[in-house]
């Protein structure tokens, strides 16, 4: 297999490149990106080199922006109706302008957040042979270890490994979860689901609807966790931890450690989302933009690779239950439509939406235009 070092590739010296073989060799190792580092790698393989990112690095990055992702404090929300109204207004404004916000005093103890980060770290740093047992590209498995879900679809691989768990509506049996993080995954899942239900109420009210509207649409039935591990990268300027993308769900609750690296695309500028101890990052997904008829925005975001690490995060994706078996149609909510605000999107099933999203991988394009009327 001819792959070539990054130096040779950048100098244009490698012409005979068998990408499929390089991808298959990486996949067959079942060791992920961390396995490359453990083997002593000092130059990143060609499959990770992101030509577009090298171009992007020269423009549009605003690490010290005068604007930043809104931070919303949920403290006292349940005890003060006037405060709750203010919070709903802030949530609505953040979803319309940014598609992202950070939330503090959300009800999940900081100790649980820290334990969850530690649990993800323990999984990825455990004995390689034990970890290999979970490696799979079978999307029907409730618990699996994977590096790059779109490895064979994407133009380039990302510098990231992931532990994925389907936690609702039918969670895996406890013994199906990795022993090194079993208890905290179950604990965190219960707490993040409770927060998710609160967010569905706030989002419904921010749209001017009954608090239970989105829940009654069965938007809150499914929970999918993805625990990401971004090892230190020897050549971070050549690749990304996660390529620019939007999320194919209603919304995502992201727990990140204190390493930083997450950026959102706001007004054509990449803006850092700085880690705040105890905070969670909330971002709107494509399906919420679709049902809100573009009122709430699903925004592009990415994770930079760094020469220090690992960076660890846990994304909790809120979606419908069993999308493969769910024939329910989702389109712009009727109560939000008028002659002045006609529907932008056709109705679709979540299964159809996800099938389209995963068929193209993280290619830097939104899935939403495909569903426009």
- CATH code of 115's domain: 2.60.120.330
- 26 found inside a domain: no
Give the count of alpha carbons within 13 A of 97, CB side only: 11
Return the structure tokens found at 134.
């979970």
Going from the C-alpha of 333 to that of each of 26, 198, 208, 346, 357, the distances in angstroms are 44, 20, 11, 11, 22
What DSSP character marks residue 156?
S
Q: Residues 5-32, buried b or exposed e (16+ Cβ, 10 A)? A: bbeebeeeebeeeeeeebbeebbeebbb
pLDDT value for 53: 66
Backbone angles phi, psi at 263, to 5 degrees: -135, 145
Is residue 202 classed as helix, strand or coil in its secondary structure?
Answer: helix
Taking the C-alpha atoms of residue 360 and residue 59, their distance in angstroms, rounded to an integer, is 26
- 315 found inside a domain: yes
Per-residue model confidence as pLDDT tens for the chain (373 residues) = 335 555 554 444 444 689 999 999 999 999 999 999 999 999 999 999 988 765 555 444 545 556 899 999 999 999 999 999 999 999 999 999 999 999 999 999 999 999 999 999 999 999 999 999 999 999 889 999 999 999 999 999 999 999 999 999 999 999 999 999 999 999 999 999 999 999 999 999 999 999 999 999 999 999 999 999 999 999 999 999 999 999 999 999 999 999 999 999 999 999 999 999 999 999 999 999 999 999 999 999 999 999 999 999 999 999 986 656 678 999 999 999 999 999 999 999 999 999 999 888 788 889 999 999 9
- 39 found inside a domain: no
What DSSP character marks residue 208?
T
- 331 found inside a domain: yes
Domain that holds residue 86: 70-371
- 33 found inside a domain: no
Question: What residues does 362 pair with on adjacent strands?
Answer: none
Taking the C-alpha atoms of residue 352 and residue 26, their distance in angstroms, rounded to an integer, is 30
pLDDT value for 358: 85
- 28 found inside a domain: no
- 65 found inside a domain: no
DSSP helix, strand, coil percent of the chain (3-state; round to 5): 35, 20, 45
pLDDT value for 102: 98
Taking the C-alpha atoms of residue 321 and residue 365, their distance in angstroms, rounded to an integer, is 26
pLDDT value for 361: 78
Our count of domains for the chain comes to 1
Under the phi-then-psi rule, with left for phi > 0, alpha for psi from -120 to 50, and beta for the rest, what region is 314?
beta
Secondary structure E strands in the chain: 61-62, 71-73, 100-104, 143-146, 161-168, 222-230, 240-245, 251-256, 262-266, 269-272, 280-284, 301-304, 311-319
Measured from the Cβ of residue 280, the count of other Cβ atoms closer than 10 Å reads 22
pLDDT value for 62: 47
Beta strand pairing call for 240-245 and 301-304: antiparallel
Of 285, 88, 331, 83, nearest in space to 203 by CA: 88
- 25 found inside a domain: no
Instruction: Tell me which residue has tokens 């993280």.
Output: 362
């Amino acid at each position: 297999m001819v792959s070539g070092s990054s130096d040779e590739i950048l100098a244009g010296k490698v012409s005979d490149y068998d990408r499929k073989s390089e991808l298959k060799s990486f996949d067959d190792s079942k060791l992920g990106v961390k396995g490359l580092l453990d083997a002593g790698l000092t130059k990143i393989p060609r499959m990770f080199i992101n030509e577009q990112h090298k171009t992007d690095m020269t423009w549009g990055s605003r690490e010290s922006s005068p604007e930043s992702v809104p931070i919303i404090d949920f403290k006292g929300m349940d005890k003060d109706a006037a405060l709750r109204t203010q919070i709903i207004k802030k949530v609505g404004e953040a979803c319309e302008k940014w598609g992202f916000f950070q939330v503090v005093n959300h009800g999940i103890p900081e100790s649980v957040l820290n334990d969850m980060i530690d649990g993800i770290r323990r999984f990825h740093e455990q004995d390689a042979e034990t970890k290999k047992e979970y490696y799979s590209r079978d999307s029907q498995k409730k618990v699996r270890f994977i590096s790059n879900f779109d490895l064979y679809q994407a133009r380039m691989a990302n510098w990231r490994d992931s532990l994925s768990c389907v936690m609702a509506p039918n969670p895996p049996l406890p013994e199906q979860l990795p022993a090194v993080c079993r208890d905290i995954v179950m604990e965190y899942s219960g707490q993040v689901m409770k927060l998710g239900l609160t967010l569905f109420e706030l989002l419904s009210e921010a749209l001017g609807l009954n608090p239970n509207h989105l829940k009654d649409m069965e938007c809150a039935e499914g929970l999918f966790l993805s625990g990401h591990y971004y090892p230190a990268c020897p050549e971070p300027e050549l690749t990304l931890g996660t390529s620019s993308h939007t999320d194919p769900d209603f919304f995502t609750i992201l727990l990140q450690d204190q390493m930083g690296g997450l950026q959102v695309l706001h007004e054509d500028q990449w803006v850092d989302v700085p880690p705040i101890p105890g905070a969670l990052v909330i971002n709107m997904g494509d399906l919420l933009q679709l049902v809100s008829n573009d009122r709430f925005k699903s925004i592009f975001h990415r994770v930079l690779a760094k020469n220090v690490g690992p960076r660890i995060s846990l994304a909790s994706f809120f979606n419908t239950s069993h999308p493969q078996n769910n024939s329910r149609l989702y389109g712009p909510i009727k109560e939000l439509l008028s002659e002045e605000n006609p529907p932008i999107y056709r109705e679709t099933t979540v299964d159809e939406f996800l099938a389209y999203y995963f068929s193209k991988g993280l290619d830097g394009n939104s899935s939403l235009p495909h569903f426009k009327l």
